[in-house]
Amino acid sequence: MPPMLEVKLDPAQLEKLGNLIGAAGKNAPAALARAINHTGDKAKTAMTQALTVQTGLKRKVIVKALKVSKASASTMTYTIRSAGGDIGLKYFGARETRSGVSAAPWGRRQIYAGTFMKGGRFPNRVAISKLNGQVMKRTGSGRAPIAKQRSGLFIPVEMVSGATAAAFDTVATRDLPDRLVHELMRIIGP
């Protein structure tokens, strides 16, 4: 099972919410789901911003990688998922230099010696269309065996660690109790 982040409410908040849920009656589950989805969307935005800085990936790559399953009146769970493995160096602002490719996983630029993205002799190197911008390295003594170079960064692991986990926790713990009260009061009325 993948690592998860959770939101905890203190007993005083639960007692107040229990009274409001009782007053809301059969409409309470829909209100709770709306509150969870609203807060979950805010937490996802904060996670996206933090994950962009933490990983060194572009925002559009992070947005494409994160998938959301929203809460409903029956599920009451807001899930942010990301699949995928070791991300290629191509996605970290890779550019070729004489000594190798320079890329910035985790936001720290470094040169990967012996790697390449283009063909030909310096300074007139040209892009090779079938490499599709990937960073490659020769794996044998000849020209032919080459392998795609990866960064060692996994988005699912980064999602539940460091600043990204803190951003989720901060937004969810700060905003969820008030949003639950707000949505329940909309049903109950003034």
Q: Summarize pLDDT for 36-63 with one digit per residue, the tens.
A: 999 999 999 999 999 999 999 999 999 9
Number of domains composing the chain: 2
Which pTM value belongs to this model?
A: 0.84
Q: Does 180 reside within a domain?
A: yes
DSSP H or E segment with residue 91: none
- Predicted confidence (pLDDT) per residue in 2-17, tens digit: 566 666 667 777 777 8
Q: Are residues 37 and 18 in the same domain?
A: yes
Q: Does 4 reside within a domain?
A: no
d(CA 32, CA 49): 26
pLDDT at 147: 92
Tokens standing for 165? 């986990």
Q: Are residues 46 and 99 in the same domain?
A: no
- The share of the chain scoring above pLDDT 90, in percent, equals 65
pLDDT at 50: 96
pLDDT at 4: 67
pLDDT at 144: 80
Q: What domain range includes position 125?
A: 94-148
Cβ contacts of 145-151, under 8 Å, gap ≥ 24: 148/88, 149/88, 149/89, 149/101, 149/112, 149/115, 150/86, 150/87, 150/88, 150/89, 151/86, 151/87, 151/88, 151/89, 151/91, 151/92, 151/103, 151/105
Q: Are residues 59 and 24 in the same domain?
A: yes
Q: Does 54 reside within a domain?
A: yes
- Predicted confidence (pLDDT) per residue in 101-139, tens digit: 999 999 999 999 999 999 888 888 999 888 899 999 999
Residue 20 has pLDDT above 90, yes or no: no
Q: Are residues 18 and 100 in the same domain?
A: no
Q: Does 78 reside within a domain?
A: yes
Q: Are residues 15 and 54 in the same domain?
A: yes
Q: Are residues 125 and 179 in the same domain?
A: no
Q: Are residues 111 and 49 in the same domain?
A: no
Q: Are residues 142 and 124 in the same domain?
A: yes
pLDDT at 3: 62
For the chain, the average pLDDT equals: 89
d(CA 138, CA 121): 16
Q: Are residues 47 and 124 in the same domain?
A: no
Q: Does 1 reside within a domain?
A: no
- Predicted confidence (pLDDT) per residue in 72-88, tens digit: 999 888 999 997 789 99
Q: Are residues 166 and 78 in the same domain?
A: yes
Q: What is the mean pLDDT of residues 129-151?
A: 90
Q: Are residues 74 and 17 in the same domain?
A: yes
pLDDT at 141: 85
At 48, is the secondary structure helix, strand, or coil? helix
pLDDT at 30: 92
- The share of the chain scoring above pLDDT 70, in percent, equals 94
